[in-house]
Amino acid sequence: MKGRRNQLSLFRLTAHELHDLLVKKEISAQELSESIFSRIGSVEDRIAAYITLTKERAFECARAVDRQIQNGGETSPLSGIPIALKDNICTGGVRTTAASKMLADFIPPYSATVVKKLDATGAVVTGKTNMDEFAMGSSTENSAFFPTKNPWNLERAPGGSSGGSAAAVASGEAVCALGSDTGGSIRQPASFCGVVGMKPTYGAVSRYGVIAYASSFDQVGPITKDVTDCALMLNAICGHDPLDSMSLKSDVPDYTSHLVNGVRGLKIGVPEEYMSTEMDSGVRAAVEKAMAMFGSLGATVDYATLPHSSYALPVYYIIAPAEASSNMARFDGVRYGAGAGDAEDVIDLFIKTRSRGFGPEVKRRIMLGTYALSAGYYDAYYLKAQKVRTLIKEDFDRAFLKFDLLLSPTTPCTAFRFGEKTDDPYQMYLTDVYTAPANLAGIPAITIPCGFAEGMPVGLQLMGRHQGEATLLRAAYTFEQNTDYHKCFPEIG
């Protein structure tokens, strides 16, 4: 095939570029998978994006796609495309660890709904990516196994908790990936790694088969090289699922139809509370440049107000740990989790299993959540936080009466060095200061590359109305078509 001479560079291409080559028979799905696994073999020892690789399954799926194409069968835009899955997404017959010792040998008997949806498209799953344990963290340093490195600088963190997925896409170890976003866990690592990441509207994507952290926040979403691939992934994974009680009952549009290069007439608000907080000067400069670009392209850019946004982070870190405390109760060594073989009785079993199975950050959040839910403190903390959450959502509702979307930095800083924030949890939590509010409100948000600061990528966040993904994709696509940041590729040393 014509593509053989280009096999080594296929990992640099987007899903839609690769799809065109596949349907024209210029490359095969087998060659594409070989290119990705060759790339994994070249850089994985330095990046450490994966916990588990599924090479044999991937090649089997790729060969099936090739047979389908050769026989003239219909293919989807994701047929034969190598996609990585965050390791809190259950895969039937394939180890799913949530990056925890507690589930080090857990093999689910079923696959998550999003995995079944991807399987139906003919996508090729490359493996399960590293993450912060049970998705609790912002740097992937909380993995029970090893930290993942940022492809732009191996001395820096890739972000978290979906750090493995973001690093895999940025480094060419996967074409696309799925992550989960509870307080920014897709957008923050995507920003740090210079790729596109989207948290869809809460309920737009099924959570069935996704190991729960905080159930009223968790949402699965795509991490991709560009906005077009993001739309293709959304087409594949969105839709009602009766197995998820919070799944939205609404039709899924063709998101690619909203990839229009034009924002004239759009009203874009910039939350003044976000821009008045401390952020790196390089991040501020890149975001202000993006604001000016949208204005030059015909959008109206003005300041918005979200008066309760300063409470978002403390509210998130009361409610999310409270929900985590409840969700983690199932990991007791009886129902789930590797039980302690030397336990003397049931109580001793619980204590030893959870003491040995959970890492420090998971224990910290369980204790925070249990305290917030305890008698005498429930009203003072959890109940009050839920009331403020409502106020935060109402702030967004009012802002969207005036604006079509909101614009902000994704993170206040670029990727930090390993160990820089691990001794101060509050400083680590602050990296989610701009992302957590969208989870509290249940609205969609996307991050796209918008520049560099001291050699590291800067992310631009766009937030939209409930089920307003189409407008976000239009704006993000327009920005992308008028810049080259998404075309930048890290040279891994």
List beta partners, residue 176: 83
Please pick, among 33, 79, 161, 325, the residue that the annotation labels catalytic.
161
Place of tokens 């509702």: 397
Please pick, among 33, 86, 206, 309, the residue that the annotation labels catalytic.
86
**Is residue 296 annotated as part of the catalytic site, yes or no?**
no
**Rounded Cα–Cα distance for residues 234 and 227 (Å):** 11
- Return the sign of the alpha-carbon dihedral for residues 317, 318, 319, 324: positive
**Is residue 86 annotated as part of the catalytic site, yes or no?**
yes
- Whether 469 contacts 235, CB under 8 Å: no
Please pick, among 79, 111, 180, 185, the residue that the annotation labels catalytic.
185
User: Cα 65–179–337 angle (5° rounding)?
Assistant: 100
**Is residue 55 annotated as part of the catalytic site, yes or no?**
no
**Which residues does the annotation mark as catalytic?**
86, 161, 185
